[in-house]
Amino acid sequence: MNTNSGRKSVYDSLVIYYFSGTGNALRAAEWLAEKAVEYGMRATLHSIERFEKVTPPEISGNTLIAFCFPTHGFNAAPLMLKYVAKFPRGKSDVLILNTRGGLKFKKIYFPGISGLAQLLPMLFLLLKGYKIKGSLPYDMPSNWVSMHPGLTDSAVKDIADRRKKEIFRFAERLFEKGRAFSYKFFVYMPLDIAVAPITIGYYFCGRYMFAKSFYASADCNDCRLCIERCPTNSLMLVNNRPFWKYTCESCMRCIGICPSKSIQTAHSFIVPMMYLYSLIPVIASVINLLGLENDGGILQDIFIRVVNWVAVFVFLVIGYRIFSFVLKIKFINRFFEFTSLTRFWRRYLAPGIKAGSFKRQ
């Protein structure tokens, strides 16, 4: 039992593993650590960016282990899922904190949706012997600026201020009682489970498409900050321009930190590409080629879907190569830039976060 300024914690130490694209999960981890120190606990933060091997937790006395990460496609960010899957077995108490995309319009706050972002890491860790003692789906400002304009400064500040108070109250409960589950975990559970098919679709297909929606406009001055700071090491130089690999998680860091704001989401590339794919009669051709009768059976249905997704993927690979190549031509580059919504939208980094705030493992 630990105590400081009259407050008693059932834990002696807190070990936090975090991954953060644009700083929300990093802020949450820092606030949690700040509260732990107030309780006289020893707090350590481990970034899992570009991890090569798992750093085993240093257990001293009664230790709480926290995992903080963003929600991506109704799931835990894949980098964190991989980390948790490789995490050593243990018996400690665990907290799962997933930051979600919260929004604010006028005076109304809208929550994000976790999907399986809480449930999957919980399952992995339970199977490894850990005890789940805390769950916090945490609605920080949404950073998904490929999908919507970044929030205004005042909306970001209002949401962040609210969340800071929420995490402090939550941490007090968790440290004092050794157990705290946010009501959001239970209230949203039916919805979180209902969106599982989208989670699966995003994990196996959707994320690769989003990874291929980024490009650098003619304003790119080759500073290479995006390449240096990518948490998954997913950018490389091709013809002196950043090129996004399939390991990209679309975490939005590159677009948020780019000093010349030259990184864009190519809406005018990805939307027509999707439309074109839908026109290509891949399914009919495959059925013809294999001499299959369309009998409506479930196995055939699954087979057809798989073929379709593989075809979409192949088109995407070829399409993105061609796209990257033609971007070298200045007027084509400018065309895509001025038809990319991100050219006109605000970008996002969590309050107080800069490119240099992110640490590697």
DSSP per-residue string spanning 157-182 = HHHHHHHHHHHHHHHHHHHHHS-EE-
CB atoms within 10 A of CB 200: 16
CB of 147 to ligand FMN, least distance (A): 8
Contacts of 313 (CB under 8 A, 6+ apart): 205, 208
Q: How far is the CB of 268 from ligand FMN (least distance, A)?
A: 19
CB 261 within 8 A of CB 254: no
Task: Tell me whether residue 111 or residue 178 sits nearer to ligand FMN (CB atom).
Answer: 111
- According to DSSP, the β-strands at 63-70 and 13-18 are parallel
Q: Report the residue count for the chain.
A: 361
CA geometry: angle 142, 148, 150, nearest 5 deg: 55
The residue among 10 and 251 lying less far from ligand FMN, judged by its C-beta, is 251
Q: How much helix, strand and coil, in percent to the nearest 5, is found in the chain?
A: 45, 20, 35
Q: Which is nearer to ligand FMN, 27 or 133 (CB)?
A: 27
Residues that bind ligand FMN (CB under 6 A): 20-25, 70-74, 99-101, 112-113, 115, 140, 142-144, 210, 250-252, 350
Which one, 80 or 282, has the nearer CB to ligand FMN? 80
Shortest distance in whole angstroms from residue 60 CB to ligand FMN:
27
Q: Which residue is closest to ligand FMN by CB?
A: 112
When the beta carbons of 18 and 39 are compared against ligand FMN, the nearer one is 18
Smallest separation (angstroms) from ligand FMN to the CB of 101: 3
* Least distance to ligand FMN, CB of residue 342, Å: 12
**Min. distance of Cβ 18 from ligand FMN in angstroms?**
8
Buried b (16+ CB within 10 A) or exposed e, 54-69: bbebeeeebbbbbbbb
For ligand FMN, the closer CB: 78 or 92: 78
How far from each other are the two terminal CA atoms of the chain, in whole angstroms?
30
Distance CA 131, CA 92 (A): 6
Give the 3-state secondary structure of residue 308.
Answer: helix
Cα 1 to Cα 82, 95, 170, 173, 180, distances in angstroms = 33, 18, 18, 15, 17
Nearer to ligand FMN, 22 or 333 (CB): 22
Q: Smallest distance, Å, CB 231 to ligand FMN? A: 9
